[in-house]
Structure 1
């Protein structure tokens, strides 16, 4: 695939994710292939309909979510993207905004993404936002630093 086409897909992905709400979930079909494989630290989702349901559930609880793509590496039809995600969730971090770093591997064909794998620290994203767990995580980190 031409590098410019890949760049366009990535630009469209970033724009789409920054506009994603429960109201436009169906537009995932414009970015992802019908047989998409989407993997993150907690899930492996196969198929566009399952991915739509996953995002519908996730975005039903998030008050705000914004992505900033930083470094992008393109090699043929495969890309690696470093990104920051800022979000607000009413049950995490007292509803305050939180920013976490992550990276994605994307594989593309026919102007769509057919494989998307996210790498992110679930501890900093979720577990540290739950009061009792955050206390334990801080204790563990402190003991590791000794």
Structure 2
């Protein structure tokens, strides 16, 4: 399993450099992927997803800081650093999130991958006018219960 964990981390260390072969070294033919925006079934669709995301980003890399393994379940906590020309003036942004993975230990591949992150913080808050409104709303909610917004 250590080999698979290392391949996963290497794949995401520079997301834009991922090629179809490196994706196939990590994911099973019948992989299921989900995040707040997508639901993908199968390796071919996963490879297409990677290619589509890569063409819209100028930079994308993940730093992993916590790895939890139990049986055939792997949980990775990460910070994604990304740059998109239409978000926040193209500056480098960071987003905290986690990946929950179910592994096929015999094939040494990922069967299911779910990414969990705040889509609003990733995209909507980075759009000038919309971002200002969302930050205002978050401050109002946080002010109502004593918590601080991010």
Higher deviation after alignment, 91-100 or 10-19: 10-19
What residue in structure 2 maps to residue 79 of structure 1?
74
Question: Comparing 15-24 with 79-88, which one deviates more in the overlay?
Answer: 15-24
**Residue pair 2:78, 2:98 contacting (<8 A) in 1 also:** yes
Residue in structure 1 matching 2:115, options 115, 118, 141: 118
Do the aligned partners of residues 23 and 42 (structure 1) sit closer, same or farther apart at CA in structure 2, a change above 3 Å counting?
Answer: closer
Tell me how far 1:138 sits from its aligned partner.
Answer: 1.3
Comparing 25-34 with 75-84, which one deviates more in the overlay? 25-34
Report the number of matched residues. Answer: 141
Indicate if the aligned counterparts of 1:70 and 1:83 stay in contact, CA closer than 8 A.
yes
Counterpart of 2:113 in 1: which secondary structure? strand
TM-score of the superposed pair, with normalisation by structure 1: 0.91
- Compute the displacement of 1:130 (Å): 0.9
Structure 1 segments of 4+ aligned residues over 3 angstroms from their partners: none
TM-score, normalised to structure 2, is 0.88
Aligned to 1:56: 51
In structure 1, what is the Cα distance between the partners aligned to 2:79 and 2:32?
22
Q: Does structure 1 retain, via aligned residues, the 8 Å contact 2:28–2:109?
A: yes
C-alpha deviation, 1:24, in angstroms = 1.5
Structure 1's unaligned 5+ residue stretches are none
Which residue number corresponds to residue 90 of structure 1? 85
Identify if the C-alpha distance between structure 1 residues 26 and 91 changes in structure 2 by more than 3 Å, giving closer, same or farther: farther
Instruction: Say if 2:16 and 2:59, in contact at 8 Å, map to a contact too.
Output: no
Contact 1:26-1:52 within 8 A present in 2 as well: no
Q: Distance in 2 between matches of 1:21 and 1:65?
A: 6
Is there any run of 5+ residues in structure 2 with no aligned partner, and where? 144-150
